[in-house]
Amino acid sequence: MSFKSVPLSAAAAALFASWGGAARAESGWSLLNMTPGVTEMSRKIYELHMLIFWVCVAIGVVVFGAMLYSIIRFRRDKGAVPDTTMVHNTKVEIIWTIIPVAILIAMAIPAARTLVQIEDLRGTQLTIKVTGYQWGWNYEYMGTGVTFFSRLDRRSDAARQVNSGIDPETVPHYLLNVDNPLVVPVGVKVRLLITADDVIHSWWMPAFGVKKDAIPGFVNESWFKIDPDKTGVYRGQCAELCGRDHGFMPIVVDARTKEDFEAWIKAKAREQKSAAPASAQAPAAASG
Ligand SMILES: [Cu+2]
């Protein structure tokens, strides 16, 4: 056994061990792919992605197969002689134009259909305004008076400082947690109005199939409807390079049942109403 094969076989063993433990959906080979997500739309996007992927695989196999076959079958030591007289063949040119055009049209039909569905904001039942800031998100539940800021949780923020002395391994969901997650109901079509107040950000939640730029001066729209049985915590990121702390503005969505959500928003509205007069007086008190 050479000295090289020891770490290699150890690495291979570790790799196989990780494959063996690939019981969860988000491990092993599936990590290389898009996730099917937890909304009907994200599944449609995933299926479209897989369809186009397999079309590309088939094209690759045919094209590189024909190339390899030609290289091997018509090599010089087999006595192949190049046909230097053939510079133009109308029939072949028509074929190699029509086939790709037909493939592109066949791919454009499901792609356009999915794009139209992504933009279909009819029948939304809840609207949340999302504003990107350097570096955090503000959420405003339209018509309820509930609004709050969501930024990197304080434990992650403390641990990330240079020479903080805090081991990131001890911080749960290091750099992926926020102080105030966005709370939404499952089974409800939620509309997002996405904008920004300083530079361009992008609200990206892979599990919902939503990634939309947040641009100052513009209001972009998007929507999601989480499967009724998919309550839980979902994580995303700002997906637009937005400055120094771009990597430190995660997104956390807490998806709850309709009843839980209603109770939460009522409590939050009450809490913010009673806190409002106090915070309105605070600047005056500070300046005086
Ligand atoms: Cu950002």
Span from the CA of 192 to the centroid of ligand 1 (angstroms): 17
Q: How confident is the model at residue 279 (pLDDT cuts 50, 70, 90)?
A: low
The mean pLDDT of the chain is 87
233 close to 208: Cβ distance less than 8 angstroms = no
pLDDT tens digit sequence for 52-85: 999 999 999 999 999 999 999 999 898 888 888 8
Say if domain 40-118 classifies as CATH 1.20.120.1200.
no
pLDDT tens digit sequence for 11-53: 444 444 444 333 345 567 778 888 899 999 999 999 999 999 9
Average pLDDT over residues 257-284: 81
Q: Where are the CATH 2.60.40.420 domain residues in the chain?
A: 126-274
pLDDT tens digit sequence for 109-150: 999 999 999 999 999 999 999 999 999 999 999 999 999 999
Q: How confident is the model at residue 86 (pLDDT cuts 50, 70, 90)?
A: confident
Burial level of 223, CB count in 10 A (0-12/13-18/19+)?
A: buried
Q: Where are the CATH 1.10.287.90 domain residues in the chain?
A: 40-118
Span from the CA of 24 to the centroid of ligand 1 (angstroms): 30
* CATH number corresponding to 126-274: 2.60.40.420
pLDDT at 234: 97
Span from the CA of 151 to the centroid of ligand 1 (angstroms): 11
d(CA 57, CA 287): 67
Across 48-60, b (16+ Cβ under 10 Å) vs e yields: beeeeeeeeeeee
Cis-peptide into 135, omega within 30 deg: yes
**Cβ of 61: how many Cβ atoms within 10 Å?**
10
